[in-house]
Amino acid sequence: MSHETIAIIDFGSQYIQLIARRVREHKVYSEIVQPNISVAELAGHNLKGVILSGGPASVYAENAPRCDEKIFELGVPILGICYGMQIGSQILGADVKPAHSREYGRTGLHITETSDLLASLPEHTTVWMSHGDQVNDLSQDFISLARTDTCPYAAVRHRNRRFYGVQFHPEVTHTPHGLDILKNFLYDICGCAGDWQMSDFVEETVRNVREQVGDATVICGLSGGVDSAVTAALLHKAVGDQLVCIFVDNGLLRKNERQTVVSTFRNHFRINLRVVDWGEQFLARLAGVTDPQQKRKIIGAEFIEAFQSEADKIPNARFLAQGTLYPDVIESGHKDGNLAANIKLHHNVGGLPEQLGFDLVEPLRDLFKDEVRLVGEYLGLPADMVWRHPFPGPGLAVRIVGEITKERLAVLCEADHILIEEIRAANLYRRISQALAVLLPVGTVGVMGDERSYESVIAIRAVETTDFMTADFCYIPHEVLGRIASRIINEVRGVNRVVYDISSKPPATIEWE
């Protein structure tokens, strides 16, 4: 990677992806690496600085994660956050012990030294603490930059080495001036130019894909979602007619989904798109199945069969494109102890590479979701596609609680269409992270005209989230909810009741199944 890079050494922080995203928000490329990375490997990254992340361990505990101490001889600035501050301070001669008073949550910070790292910050501010240990005794080689009521060394710097440490978390929104601290580190201390931009990424990726693929054909499984759409558009820019996209119509799609994909990719981008009509087979296999996991397994297996039926007809196809994103790479590394190993294939197209013998092309594997959307905009994809809410691979099947039939699918498809139409009309779509309708296996009594009815219930769910790890339900105005419910009950045959799900994640998940 030719971009100037900030390497983030991951000591097990729950905020690790957030640190990486915050650095990139400042237009500086960041890369998460494991503590066992060698200094030689680090130095080969066009390295401008290193961030040592937080983590749950105690630095003095047996088997506590440690990094190569020679990174302090690289000559680049190092910022330690929480555990990262403790490990860096300990290596450079300070003493770390359990704190007399643990700090969790919002804490007042008093800044005593306002140069470089904490420049332009107010003397008193709020930070987010989460620690049971702290630096207990600084050697003469350190200067204290800030303190709290119970933590005398809440921010420090080394006199001779380019090491800075903060005991709090500048990456979280609960630290109001956290982004200023990171900006000071990146620009004033590391001297970054801020040259990480999507146009450069696209051009570099196009070159790499052309080199990898040569004159072979690349197959891309299109779902209509953001990741696969951007992958397809990026690959088409790179290899043109060597790209063949396969769209499997599983009969479990949103209303007009197939037409939208065909219109965008075949008609607008002139991409070679093959549509596999497999809806009847999916429905036949799902008949009588109510268990959510069983549904997913059946749909996954049937998808592979449908995909393979078309892939077999494509000559010279050596590569399969996947929309693997950086969080998939990171999570995979956490599981395997090796950051780059065994990317989770099920995120996009199941076990297709192994089953069909393709080599993988993963043009988005260095990007976070928000960056993928920026690439989509740069490549000219329609805004509705770029900013589309997440939609599960198994489609509406996992939003029908209970048995899936053609009739129940038709009910949910119409209800879902009305929901999305109304939140768009109310200008709420971009504020909501994900909105969905769920068909419940419950009949309730109602009155339709002058007669009693006994019909289905639709549950509406809409959440706000930044990372999909946690989520809050959305406060949708009552008049909008009223319009949604009224339209669904009046326009969708078989529904006489609409309810709104106001649970958060956790304890509830975003999807119902």
For residue range 1-10, what is the model confidence (pLDDT) as tens digits? 468 999 999 9
User: Are 467 and 17 within 8 A, CB to CB?
Assistant: yes
Q: Please state, in angstroms and rounded to a whole number, the distance separating the CA atoms of residues 247 and 489.
A: 33
Q: Please state, in angstroms and rounded to a whole number, the distance separating the CA atoms of residues 228 and 433.
A: 19
Q: What angle do CA 179, 185, 190 make, to 5 degrees?
A: 145
Higher pLDDT: 29 or 448? It is 29
Q: List helix spans (H) across 262-345.
A: 279-286, 292-311, 326-336
Q: Does residue 364 surpass a pLDDT of 90?
A: yes
Q: Does residue 69 surpass a pLDDT of 80?
A: yes
The per-residue pLDDT for 449 is: 59
Residue 415, both tokens: 């209800």
Q: Please state, in angstroms and rounded to a whole number, the distance separating the CA atoms of residues 85 and 91.
A: 10
Question: Given phi > 0 = left and psi -120 to 50 = alpha, else beta, which region is 3?
Answer: beta
Q: Does residue 63 surpass a pLDDT of 70?
A: yes
The per-residue pLDDT for 354 is: 59
Looking at every residue in the chain, the average pLDDT score rounds to: 88
The per-residue pLDDT for 237 is: 95
In the annotation, is 151 catalytic?
Answer: no
In the annotation, is 158 catalytic?
Answer: no
Q: Does residue 191 surpass a pLDDT of 80?
A: yes
Q: What is the mean pLDDT of residues 476-502?
A: 96
What phi and psi values does residue 408 have, to the nearest 5 degrees?
-65, -35
The per-residue pLDDT for 100 is: 61
The pLDDT-based confidence of 460 (bands split at 50, 70, 90) is very high
Closest by alpha carbon to 170, among 370, 23, 366, 7? Answer: 23
Cα 59 to Cα 13, 29, 90, 104, 139, distances in angstroms: 14, 28, 8, 18, 17
Residues 217-232 pLDDT 10s: 999 998 878 999 999 9
Q: Does residue 243 surpass a pLDDT of 90?
A: yes
Q: Please state, in angstroms and rounded to a whole number, the distance separating the CA atoms of residues 8 and 21.
A: 11
What phi and psi values does residue 453 have, to the nearest 5 degrees?
-125, 160
Q: Which of 210-219, 320-329, 432-441 has the lowest mean pLDDT?
A: 320-329
DSSP-derived pairing of the beta strands 317-321 and 272-277: unpaired
Q: Does residue 330 surpass a pLDDT of 80?
A: no
In the annotation, is 82 catalytic?
Answer: yes
Of 67, 82, 190, 192, catalytic:
82
Q: Does residue 132 surpass a pLDDT of 70?
A: no
Q: What is the mean pLDDT of residues 23-27?
A: 92
Looking from the CA of 466 toward its CB, the CA atoms found within 13 Å total 7
The per-residue pLDDT for 350 is: 40
Residue 176, both tokens: 């109001």
The per-residue pLDDT for 150 is: 82
User: Are 501 and 414 within 8 A, CB to CB?
Assistant: no
Q: What is the mean pLDDT of residues 68-93?
A: 92
Q: What is the mean pLDDT of residues 451-467?
A: 84
Q: Does residue 349 surpass a pLDDT of 90?
A: no
Of 4, 103, 171, 414, catalytic:
171
The per-residue pLDDT for 327 is: 81
Q: Which of 94-108, 187-201, 215-229, 498-512 has the lowest mean pLDDT?
A: 94-108
Q: What angle do CA 270, 273, 275 make, to 5 degrees?
A: 145
Of 169, 177, 236, 417, catalytic:
169
Q: Which of 23-27, 57-61, 375-379, 407-411 has the lowest mean pLDDT?
A: 57-61
Amino acid found at 264: T
Q: What is the mean pLDDT of residues 370-376?
A: 92
The pLDDT-based confidence of 497 (bands split at 50, 70, 90) is very high
